[in-house]
Amino acid sequence: MPSTVLVLGATSRVGSHFVAHPPAGWSVVTAGRTDPRSRGLTVDSHASLDLSDEAAVRGFLRGAKADACVNFAARTDVDGCEKERSDPSAARPTGLPGSAWTLNAELPRWVAEEEERAGRFFVHISTDYVFDGAHGPYPEATPPSPPSEKVSWYGVTKGIGESAVFSSKGPRSVLRISHPYGNPSPGRTDLALTLLAQRREDRLHPLYVDQRITPTWIPDVSTALAAILDLSSTRIYHVASPEVTSPYGFAKALFASRGWRTDDLRTASLASQARDPARAARPVLGGLLVREVHKLDVRPRSFREGIRELLDVEGVPFSPAAVRAR
């Protein structure tokens, strides 16, 4: 009899790939505001649920019939989240429905507590933005950086959320990712697709040369989750490129892989930019070191391998006339 995984945030960039490519032997049920079937995804069932309503979330989970739960739900607009910051030294700002605090800090705690009560295995998806970017790439055992102006409000809330999950006594795991890309779908974008669109429209922005990133190929997240769920492995895992790059380096590799021009790429320095209150801090020396998933026989692709696969995916926006050397 197949096991059942409950997925929260099933229509997110990363969650939608997992739902479309579930682990062998697992059926998928989902809960949240948007029914993934309206996006062309196939699931066994969907429950309409306001993930910012604590009572509704707890009540639903207490009646849920599933063997495991994966939470992809989050507010991920980094600059949008920054507008919600009330005080860099304060842990709790507004708790409005849909806020970064509610979805990134509170929701993971609610779910972890209820899954502990149910004895159900829980996997929470987190990010390298929980770190201040002083000493990256970061190994799995590194705890989130304390709240400060060096950490975006997105990163602060995600760090509080993942700490709540890992502090629970139930069977749980945290999986961190970094700059996910590689799941083209309507209405969704990522680092690679944004760069392709800018190249196509001849409106490339300056790219950071000093920011360390380890971009995550989204299909690798689904592969890692399959192994983690099968083993109910209670650790912190990283899924990211084993090769470190920068936004500039990523763009150069992306365009060069198709023989497109790269000589017009402009550079910028993240570290030297003045602090803009409307723009969130980004980790300069960020990224993730990948070790623990190797023990599950999962080998995340380098960003160069991911780029090669991405450009072979049918439907990726590509206009040779707009990007040929000139």
What is the tens place of the pLDDT at every residue in 123-143?
999 999 999 999 999 999 999
pLDDT at residue 326 tops 50:
no
pLDDT at residue 42 tops 80:
yes
Write the pLDDT tens digit of every residue in 10-26.
999 999 999 999 999 99
Buried b (16+ CB within 10 A) or exposed e, 77-97: ebeebbebbeeeeeeebeeee
Determine the pLDDT at residue 314: 43
Confidence label for 119 from pLDDT (cuts 50, 70 and 90): very high
pLDDT at residue 316 tops 60:
no
**End-to-end Cα separation, the chain, in angstroms:** 59
Q: What is the dihedral of CA 216, 82, 36, 316, to 10 degrees?
A: -50
Write the pLDDT tens digit of every residue in 248-290.
999 999 999 988 989 999 999 998 875 666 689 999 999 999 9
Distance CA 96, CA 77 (A): 16
**CATH code of the domain made up of 3-189+215-244+288-304:** 3.40.50.720
